[in-house]
Amino acid sequence: MPQPHTHYFEVEAELSGAKKNYVDFTLPVWAPGSYLVREFAKNVEGFEATDKSGKALRSEKIDKNTWRVYSNKADVVRARYDVYAYELSVRTSYLDASHGYVNGTSIFMYPEGYEKESGTLVVKPYNGWDKVSTGLKSTGNFTYTFPNYDILADSPLEIGNHEVYTFTAAGVPHEVAMYGEGNYEPNRLMTDMKEVVEEAVKVMGELPVERYVFIVHNLNRGGGGLEHLNSTTLQTSRWNYGTEAGYNGFLSLVAHEYFHLWNVKRLRPLALGPFNYNEENYTDLLWVSEGITSFYDDLLVRRSGFTTPQRYLDVVAGSITSVENTPGNKVQTVAEASYDAWIKYYRRSENSNNAEVSYYTKGGVLGQLLNMEIMEATNGEKSLDDVMRNMYNRYYKQLGRGFKEAEFKEAVEKVSGRNMDAFFRNYVNGTETPDYNQFFDAAGLRLVNISEGSNLASWGATTAVADGKVLVRGVSRGSSAYEGGLNVNDEIIAVNGYRVGDDLSRYVGGLSIGDTAEVLVTRDGKLQTLRIPMLKDESVRYRFERVQNPSSVQQKIFNKWLAVDQS
């Protein structure tokens, strides 16, 4: 990275001992953990190859992400190329004058047929940069070893002059590489991260790493994470640490990505490993891999004592509210959402909310229901923790393979002692609305819709103001705007004869059920009037309430679930 301000990494790959007529060097098209073909080869420039003496070898590109080097049985083949890296996300690589971040699949090619070979990585930081943080094993002087390509690809690197903090949890050293300023207090943050980590270890029973690395990017605006085998990359807004909500939100992100250390990176659906780096790897179980992990992220923060039981219940109620207010929840099953992540989840359109459901959010809600079902069936003796621990021991440790949906269902049935056919038919592979109170009664709770009985009209269109124009950005299925024919990209000029200016809400907020709104719009430059019948707002807003005089079993389940200390 001799000129980081140009955003180019210079890469050289050397293969020894092949002695073949040709060697194909391939760059992956996606980053495991982020289910979208991103075509990383689009950023490669100047590919060339030589033998050990430096003599040029002929090469040509044979498909979108593969370069063939005609090596003429040379003992050593060297391929070199540049990669433009200027997209700072947890899924891509980035280089500028302040630091470098490498996400392996977007930078490192592999010689086809040699993916299982061990190797060495040498990093040459820009002059004046003195730190590299990565999960790879170091042999000193910015030199690292890897047992195979999967490990190289799965070990991101943070390069620069970032802050490095450490803590030990469950007997394992953890490194935290903090790029960018932030209003965090290091000692407090390390202590609290340690608490969250150790709560996660309690769930799964062991910590199967010798060392773990958190790479944290503190940005003006940022959010999200990506899991790796013994590391993770997190992005957050740099001033978020200063509020309770922001701080706990970051700890929840830590918990989410750390729990992936087991759930996804080791306990995984059958389709997610070994990876095919050249195309989509389909599974209908992302609701387990991501959704169940989402179930645990806020729960681990609660178990660590950083949020109150009531605040946690509010979060759970908010997730259920979000799912039930998503029209796509009645269209797409959570299994379909998992399978179609490659073409839908990362490619959202103005209609996505009407046609799709998040396997993160709904998967997390289903995790709650499974947890309640198990605890009710066992009088609070067992929980979803037992399922995840059993699955990890059987499929990762004993069988060394991924699992199928039927095997996850079987594991739930074994722990709960109940047949789960209807649950998976109706809620995983169907779009039925659960009777939430049937599940949460186990903990002495009722889920109450505080919007029930209201007689508000639904407008159902989201808008944005641009250059003084009110433009429609989204229309919700079944709403007044949807049924009345309002389209995305319409410019709303007037409602019932009054020009709206830049404040639409004052003209539609007072409309009642049964009213008809005459809306003047311009669509593709043509003026037209729409007659929009105002329909009842059917959206929900949930909160939990305790039942009166809960039984001893209900209280036991409530306390266990919410980590309420009764000592």
In DSSP terms, 178 is beta-bridged to 163, 216
Angle between helices 186-204 and 384-391 (to 10 degrees): 80
- Beta-carbon neighbour count of residue 80 at 10 Å? 14
Q: How confident is the model at residue 502 (pLDDT cuts 50, 70, 90)?
A: confident
Report pLDDT for 202. Answer: 98
Spans of all domains in the chain: 4-160, 163-259, 286-451+557-561, 457-536
Instruction: Look at residue 358 and tell me whether its pLDDT is greater than 80.
Output: yes
The whole-number average pLDDT for the span 212-229 is: 96
Asked if 289 and 270 count as a contact pair (C-beta separation under 8 A), the reply is: no
Report pLDDT for 425. Answer: 98
Average per-residue pLDDT for the chain: 97
Annotate 22-55 with b (16+ C-beta within 10 A) or e (fewer). bbbbbbbbbbbbbbbebebbebbeebebbbeeee
**Lowest mean per-residue pLDDT among 88-102, 104-118, 330-344, 503-517:** 503-517
Residue 410 contacts by C-beta under 8 Å, 6 or more apart in sequence? Answer: none
Residue 447 contacts by C-beta under 8 Å, 6 or more apart in sequence? Answer: 317, 320, 436, 437, 440, 542, 543, 544
Asked if 411 and 420 count as a contact pair (C-beta separation under 8 A), the reply is: no
Which pairing describes strands 56-57 and 44-51: parallel, antiparallel, or unpaired?
Answer: antiparallel
Instruction: Look at residue 567 and tell me whether its pLDDT is greater than 80.
Output: no
Instruction: Look at residue 213 and tell me whether its pLDDT is greater than 70.
Output: yes
The whole-number average pLDDT for the span 483-494 is: 97
Q: Rounded distance, CA 102 to CA 93, Å?
A: 5
Q: Rounded distance, CA 293 to CA 23, Å?
A: 40
Q: What is the DSSP letter of 216?
A: E
Residue 1 contacts by C-beta under 8 Å, 6 or more apart in sequence? Answer: 8, 9, 10, 95, 100, 124, 125, 126, 159
Asked if 171 and 197 count as a contact pair (C-beta separation under 8 A), the reply is: no
Q: Which of 387, 199, 443 is nearest to 298 (CA)?
A: 199
Look at 502 and 34; give whichever has higher pLDDT.
Answer: 34
CATH code: domain 457-536 is 2.30.42.10
Q: Which CATH architecture has domain 163-259?
A: Orthogonal Bundle (1.10)
Instruction: Look at residue 539 and tell me whether its pLDDT is greater than 70.
Output: yes
Instruction: Look at residue 363 and tell me whether its pLDDT is greater than 80.
Output: yes
Q: How confident is the model at residue 531 (pLDDT cuts 50, 70, 90)?
A: very high
CATH code: domain 286-451+557-561 is 1.10.390.10
Q: How confident is the model at residue 285 (pLDDT cuts 50, 70, 90)?
A: very high
Residue 37 contacts by C-beta under 8 Å, 6 or more apart in sequence? Answer: 29, 30, 279, 280, 342
Report pLDDT for 273. Answer: 87
pLDDT above 90 covers a percentage of the chain that reads: 98
Q: Which of 58, 48, 161, 45 is nearest to 107 (CA)?
A: 45
What pTM value is reported for the model? Answer: 0.96
The whole-number average pLDDT for the span 135-147 is: 97
Per residue in 162-182, pLDDT tens?
Answer: 999 999 999 999 999 999 999
**178 vs 185, 190, 287, 428, 473, CA distance in Å?**
12, 12, 30, 39, 37
The whole-number average pLDDT for the span 308-326 is: 98
Q: Rounded distance, CA 417 to CA 421, Å?
A: 12
What stretches of 330-433 show up as alpha helix (H) in DSSP? 334-339, 352-355, 361-377, 384-391, 405-416, 421-423
Report pLDDT for 222. Answer: 86
**Secondary structure (DSSP) of 310-340:** HHHHHHHHHHHHHHHT-GGGGTS-HHHHHHG
Peptide bond just before 274 cis, omega within 30 deg:
yes
163-259 and 286-451+557-561 have identical folds: yes
Count how many Cα atoms sit within 13 Å of the Cα of residue 541 in the half-sphere of its side chain.
6
Asked if 323 and 431 count as a contact pair (C-beta separation under 8 A), the reply is: no
* Residue 204 one-letter amino acid: M
In DSSP terms, 101 is beta-bridged to 94, 158
By the 10 Å C-beta count (0-12 exposed, 13-18 middle, 19+ buried), 83 is classed as buried
Instruction: Look at residue 152 and tell me whether its pLDDT is greater than 70.
Output: yes
Q: Rounded distance, CA 75 to CA 15, Å?
A: 8
Q: Which CATH architecture has domain 4-160?
A: Sandwich (2.60)
Per residue, what are the HEC states of 233-265? EEEEECCHHHCHHHHHHHHHHHHHHHHCCCECC
Q: How confident is the model at residue 501 (pLDDT cuts 50, 70, 90)?
A: confident
Asked if 436 and 443 count as a contact pair (C-beta separation under 8 A), the reply is: no
Per residue in 183-211, pLDDT tens?
Answer: 999 999 999 999 999 999 999 999 999 99
Residue in the block written with tokens 């739930």: 412
Report pLDDT for 447. Answer: 98
The whole-number average pLDDT for the span 45-73 is: 97
Report pLDDT for 453. Answer: 87
